[in-house]
Amino acid sequence: MIFRCGHFRPFAMFIGLALFSAGCGKQRLPSDPAPAEKSFPSAVAPRIIEKSSADPVAGPSVVTSLSFRMLTAESGFEFVRNDDMHGQERLFEVNGGGSAIFDFDADGWLDIFMTNGCRVPLALQSKETPGRLFRNHQHMKFRDCSEASGLMQYGYGTGCAVGDTNEDGFEDLYIAAFGPNQFWVNNGDGTFSFVSGTDIPAVPEWSSSVAFADLNADDTLDLYVANYVAESDTHPKLCHDSKPDVGDTGCSPSFFDGVSDSLLLSDGHGGFLDGSGAAGLSTLPGKALGVVICDFGGDPAPEIYVANDGEANFLFSLEIKPSQGEPVCPDHVTLRERAVFANVALNEQGFAQASMGVAASDLDRNGLVDIFLTHFFGESNTLYLNHSTSDSLVFQDATRVSALGPPSLRKLAFGVVSLDVDNNGWKDLLVANGHTNDRTWSGPSAPYRMTPQLFENQGNALFVDVSNAAGDYFHRELLGRGMAMGDLDRDGRMDAVVSQQIDPSVILQNKTKSAGSSLFLRLIGRTCCRTPVTARVTLMNTEPTACEYLVGGGSFQSASANEIHFGLADARSVDLEILWPGGDREIVTDVTPGYWTIRQGDHRAWPTNHSETVAD
């Protein structure tokens, strides 16, 4: 009926209307729009946290007078370490090496030794890249005298320690290694002689840092060797890498077994005996990377602090059985571990951190030596302030108070020295940074090379990161490792040497313009060791207390100059109290800023001649 012609027009209208409506109709949006379609108001203040730069150092508003200049080849100091790096990041190739600053020829000018690596496996006996000795020719000029000196360190050198073991007035050198360690005696004529295994026990472990000190009170220098982990040079441990197309790569230290450290006691005749077992070290395996020997308790017996990688750190006090007139034997010395009681085993959160470098210095000027440790990426460096009493060794984790924590969280720190850069009497901190593993392919949040850092002590161990304003060096992204300090140009300002991986190692010349006056003391023991490690010098009548210790070891795999340095600001003269190892006290008055040598018992200071040795 609808389709009859007479009635077609209305139906056509219906159809037309229907078609028209269908053509114009839009799909109504669902009541719950798909989330992807939701629009965000552009006027809302941004709430997304800005992506941090890979290097969150102090901003441009930091002002400091501290300044360093970087020197490399132009000074004659040319050294690029060979770590046998081939991309596999085997554990031994990521730690790098160390440096020693010492006056090997006793001309009053500090020289530099750099440990070097080699090709691995060690059986290759690669002699292509020995360690290098650079003689100081003054005015920041150095010359490689390795061949002339005979000091040819082959093998995979790691750390080193300096001390006058035979008391002849010339400092000797012990070199730790991944492989056989080496002991080089200074002949006193500009040359060195290698000491064979019969006179010094072999240390079979992978050694990292080493430190000299008289550890059994027999007035001869002994040696503490920090050993790392059990690892093979022929079959190094490899782990699967998440990076595409890499396959196996190096493993984290947690995959390795720790090993015990070594205690080598002087036999009094130029050789050493192994006192490790008798001392109890064999029952205390660790993963030691740093060691420092110092009088932490102020009593004046030495203690040994060992920085372990990812495990609780050690603090050893020494128990020495009386010798009753006989030469002290290795079994007369026992080490008692007390880091837990002293609160220096773990950090404030109860974590064992990946400790690498250690600096021991009185940072808050309370007369006691504090400990500063450098750690892995994502962990803060840690400062332990010393609050020991005559009854007990006690420290407190003061990382938060010191403001040293946050700037170090995105760094992986190795070598560290505590030095008064501007001679204002407060010790600052210089830190070498650089990751161990290159994961930059995963994005900017995984930095490899890192900028070093300089922390200025504002007083009372409160620090500010002044890296941004302290010189061009602090803007360079590097793989910093060992670090040693010493006044290389004898201008009264402390300099430093940094061992680096891949890039040339550098000298950091202190160019701080506003630096006050300073005092550099060379101490020569007579009844105690000639190198009187753990001696303490105090500036009398000074508030707050100003005292310095001659420490053994410190930093990472490095040895700083065996000198005491005081920043005197504008003081014209000072009186000194010296506490020698063994307990002798000595007062020396009216010492003016400059370079002085103090021999035990003289009660006076001799000017340190920079061209000849002081006769005994």
* Interacting residue ranges for other proteins, rule: CB under 8 A: 7, 10-11, 13-14, 17-18, 21-22, 25, 27-30, 32-37, 40, 44, 46-52, 56, 252, 254-255, 310-312, 340-341, 345-346, 348-352, 378, 380, 400-401, 403, 405-410, 442-443, 445-446
> Any idea which residue has 């009635």 for tokens?
7
Write the burial class of residue 138 (CB in 10 Å: 0-12 exposed, 13-18 middle, 19+ buried): middle
Q: What three-state secondary structure class fits 138?
A: coil
CA-to-CA distance for 15 and 417, rounded, in angstroms?
Answer: 93
Instruction: Please state the closest distance from residue 7 (CB atom) to other proteins, in A.
Output: 6
* In the complex, minimum distance from the CB of residue 47 to other proteins, in angstroms, rounded to a whole number: 5
Shortest separation between residue 314's beta carbon and other proteins, angstroms: 12
> By C-alpha distance, which of 555, 450, 501, 453 is closest to 208?
555
Cα separation, 211 vs 331, in Å, equals 20
Peptide bond connecting 544 to the previous residue in cis, omega within 30 degrees of 0:
yes
Closest to other proteins by CB, 385 vs 507, is: 385
Sheet of 506-510, strands arranged across = 68-71, 506-510, 495-500, 480-486
Residue 313 CB, nearest distance to other proteins (Å)? Answer: 10
State the pairing for strand pair 395-397/574-579.
Answer: unpaired
Amino acid code (one letter) for 476: R
Nearer to other proteins, 65 or 252 (CB): 252
User: Taking a C-beta distance cutoff of 8 angstroms, is the pair 561, 533 a contact?
Assistant: no
Q: Between residues 36 and 615, which has the closer beta carbon with respect to other proteins? A: 36
Instruction: Give the Å distances, CA to CA, from 402 to 55, 355, 363, 370, 458.
Output: 20, 18, 10, 12, 10
Complex with other proteins: residue 152 or 346, whichever CB lies closer: 346
Smallest gap from residue 263 Cβ to other proteins (A): 23
Of residues 282 and 442, the one with the C-beta less far from other proteins: 442
Measured CA to CA, the distance from residue 172 to residue 170 in angstroms comes to 7
- To other proteins, the closest distance from the beta carbon of 67 in angstroms equals 25
Nearer to other proteins, 406 or 601 (CB): 406
Q: In the complex with other proteins, which residue's Cβ is closer, 409 or 502?
A: 409
Residues 6+ apart with CB under 8 A from 369: 294, 295, 296, 360, 361, 362, 386, 549, 551
| DSSP code per residue over 548-613 | EE--EE-BTT-B--S-EEEEEET-S-EEEEEE-TTS-EEEEEEEPSEEEEEETT--S-EE--SSSP
- Rounded to the nearest whole angstrom, what is the least distance from the CB of residue 346 to other proteins in the complex? 5
**Cβ 93 to other proteins shortest distance, Å:** 21
The residue (of 396 and 517) whose beta carbon lies closer to other proteins is 396
| Cβ proximity to other proteins, 30 vs 322, nearer residue | 30
Least distance in angstroms from the C-beta of 95 to other proteins: 18
